[in-house]
Chain A
Amino acid sequence: MIKLKHSVQKGNFFLEVDTKIPGQGITGVFGESGSGKTMLLRCIAGLEPSTSNASKPVHKRRIGYVFQEPQLFAHLSVKQNIEFGRRRNPEATVSMDDVVGLLEIGDLLPRSITDLSGGEAQRVSIARVLCQSPRLILMDEPLSALDERRRNDVLPYLDRLHAESLVPIIYVSHNIDEICRLSDHLLVLDSGKVIAEGGLQDTLSRTDLPQLRGRNAGAVVEATQSRYDDEFDLTLFGFSGGELWAPGRYDSSSVRLRISASDISLSRVPAESSTILNILAATIEATTSESAATELVRLRLGNDILLARITRRSLQQLGLQVGDKVFAQIKSVTVRR
């Protein structure tokens, strides 16, 4: 476990965090802009003075920091940038060749920083941090300065990093898709306070947090690939609550499926001759009013939880109650990894 205890005041903003996160995997920190996400990372790194971190200077902490912009040193080559942290840590154990291979930056090594694309530069900055052999890596929205295409130059490498799980990572983002894709554990931050924390799936299935409503509402399930249908280019995935079809073909056998609350509708009887491929039996576990018009419904399917958004009128018309058996019609599934 990694203990996070920081309190700091800046103007009229207070950050007050006292919690523990797992010592492995990726902990996502989610919150709107101004919720104190970056401030928390800066406190952990020692870049911002807080009540509990005054003792140790920044350079002795061995905490890697990946900034929004790559912050590479323009007077050094790619290779010299990567060696910068490594040369300053006599106990560096990570093999530079491994890191270069992991991030596929071998061809970039002799290049000058000015010749790199945004995505390449961010990969180099991640490699630089990995090579310093940090005890913990902090990532502050490392994709937010990149456009959609460049983002896809970096995301697969973050997936790899996640799969390898070399070092614990704290990943800050206001993008729920990145959080769902990359993190195992989740902290939700609001006005400088942790308002929710826990495993990714458990936290995402909560309906009481304003931050996880609207377009952010949705669940994640871990699933395994059962077969590929090459006639229609669809893949069947199995999870504790049944089986789901998703378009496309996937390499890895175990995947993470993200199902947005707005992509699930409910019916009392299974729809016949519907265009929706995925219709699963579920039990209503709870309903929470989301807005004047809409309700979020927590559905149990096996050991997993899914969220569905329905109108309050539908809830009344169908007389849906906790404990009822319903059919969840799932319109779209996003596959990760």
Chain B
Amino acid sequence: MMDFGPLWLSAQLAFVTTVILILLGAPIAWWLSQTRSRWQPVVQAIVAMPIVLPPTVLGFYLLVVLGPHGTIGGWWVRVTGDALTFSFAGLVIASCIYSLPFAVQPMQNAFESLPRKNIEAAWTLGASKLDAFLSVAVPLSTRGFVSAIVLSFAHTLGEFGVVLMVGGNIPGETRVVSIAIYDHVETLNYAAAHRLSLVLMLFAFVTLFGMFLINRRWQAR
């Protein structure tokens, strides 16, 4: 019997996180690709940190900040009456930080490969900076956006350590698929662990294969 709850929750979490990351990450990626500010490497390093940090470190700090006595968590409790930790909203915030580099870097690479004069041409043709970004830079960087979407979705789906630290294990709220697998293994329910793991394996392969296939098609053109 397949355990659909955690799968569905993971998919929801990955979807919401990806949407937020594309909207938030695109301007960051654009800034990183265009600026000549001396702060660029600093911001670049901060964005990339979740790649190298152990998820437990990230999770620990998030627990402190998002907890009812933390800066963001305390404010959240005053505004909504609920705690951020051990909630879906808390998981979304944690996932956004955890998967940020996987959204920003592909978009940034795509923006950096645009000829600068192409953007300047748009400006001289009467497009404001925002207009040129939306009507020239973004459509010319579709490849980067596809990579960013696939990678942030897949990476969020696979997160475990951060969720364990800030989310706990509340069915329907924070019990995502990776936690469910861990639980099944703990209770020696290998059959259930196998079923969920296989779904994730297949999903990871199919999405990555699809992405590389699309990339190859585009390269061939």
A1-9, A57-65, A181-189, A258-266 - the one binding chain B:
A57-65
A66-74, A170-178, A209-217, A296-304 - the one binding chain B:
A66-74
**CB within 8 A of B126: which of A47, A67, A73, A88?**
A88
Are A132 and B120 closer than 8 Å at their CB atoms?
no
Scan residues 109-143 of chain B and give those whose CB is less than 8 A from a CB of chain A. Answer: 115, 117-118, 120-129, 131-132, 135-136, 139-140
Number of interface residues of A (CB under 8 A): 24
B133 CB → nearest A CB, Å? 12
Closest to B126 in A: A88
One digit per residue, 1 when the CB lies within 8 angstroms of any chain A CB and 0 when it does not, for chain B 184-205 equals 0000000000000000000000
Question: Is A37 among interface residues, defined by CB-CB distance under 8 A?
Answer: no
Assembly CA distance A63 to B121 (angstroms): 11
**CB within 8 A of A71: which of B115, B126, B132?**
B115
A62 CB → nearest B CB, Å? 7
Are A67 and B131 closer than 8 Å at their CB atoms?
no
Are B136 and A59 closer than 8 Å at their CB atoms?
no
A41 CB → nearest B CB, Å? 10
Are B123 and A73 closer than 8 Å at their CB atoms?
no
B24 CB → nearest A CB, Å? 24
Are A85 and B126 closer than 8 Å at their CB atoms?
yes
Are B140 and A71 closer than 8 Å at their CB atoms?
no
Assembly CA distance A62 to B140 (angstroms): 24
Question: Is A75 among interface residues, defined by CB-CB distance under 8 A?
Answer: yes
Assembly CA distance A63 to B128 (angstroms): 14
Assembly CA distance A67 to B121 (angstroms): 8
Are A58 and B123 closer than 8 Å at their CB atoms?
yes
Number of interface residues of B (CB under 8 A): 19
User: What residues of chain B lie closer than 8 Å to A59, measured between beta carbons?
Assistant: 123-129, 131-132
User: What residues of chain A lie closer than 8 Å to B125, measured between beta carbons?
Assistant: 59, 64, 84-85, 88, 128-129, 132
Assembly CA distance A65 to B125 (angstroms): 8
Tell me the interface secondary structure of chain B in the complex. Answer: helix
Are A132 and B140 closer than 8 Å at their CB atoms?
no
Most buried by A among B121, B122, B132, B139: B121
Assembly CA distance A151 to B125 (angstroms): 24
Are A74 and B140 closer than 8 Å at their CB atoms?
yes
Question: Is A45 among interface residues, defined by CB-CB distance under 8 A?
Answer: yes
Given A57-B128, A59-B131, A88-B131, also A71-B117 (CB < 8 A): yes
Are A64 and B122 closer than 8 Å at their CB atoms?
no
Most buried by A among B118, B126, B127, B140: B126
B166 CB → nearest A CB, Å? 40
Assembly CA distance A64 to B122 (angstroms): 10
User: What residues of chain A lie closer than 8 Å to B118, measured between beta carbons?
Assistant: 71, 73
Assembly CA distance A45 to B120 (angstroms): 10
Are B124 and A47 closer than 8 Å at their CB atoms?
yes
Given A58-B123, A65-B121, A67-B121, also A73-B136 (CB < 8 A): yes
B35 CB → nearest A CB, Å? 15
B52 CB → nearest A CB, Å? 35
Question: Is A89 among interface residues, defined by CB-CB distance under 8 A?
Answer: yes
User: What residues of chain B lie closer than 8 Å to A47, measured between beta carbons?
Assistant: 120, 123-124
Assembly CA distance A65 to B120 (angstroms): 9
What residues make up the interface of B, taking CB atoms closer than 8 Å to A? 115, 117-118, 120-129, 131-132, 135-136, 139-140
Known A59-B125, A59-B128, A61-B124; 5 more pairs at CB < 8 Å: A59-B126, A69-B115, A71-B121, A85-B126, A132-B125
Closest 9 A-B residue pairs measured CB to CB? A88-B126, A85-B125, A71-B121, A65-B124, A58-B123, A75-B139, A59-B128, A59-B126, A59-B123
What residues make up the interface of A, taking CB atoms closer than 8 Å to B? 45, 47, 57-65, 67, 69, 71, 73-75, 84-85, 88-89, 128-129, 132
**What are 13 pairs between A and B in contact, CB < 8 Å?**
A45-B124, A59-B123, A60-B126, A63-B124, A64-B124, A67-B120, A71-B117, A71-B118, A73-B136, A74-B140, A85-B125, A85-B126, A88-B125
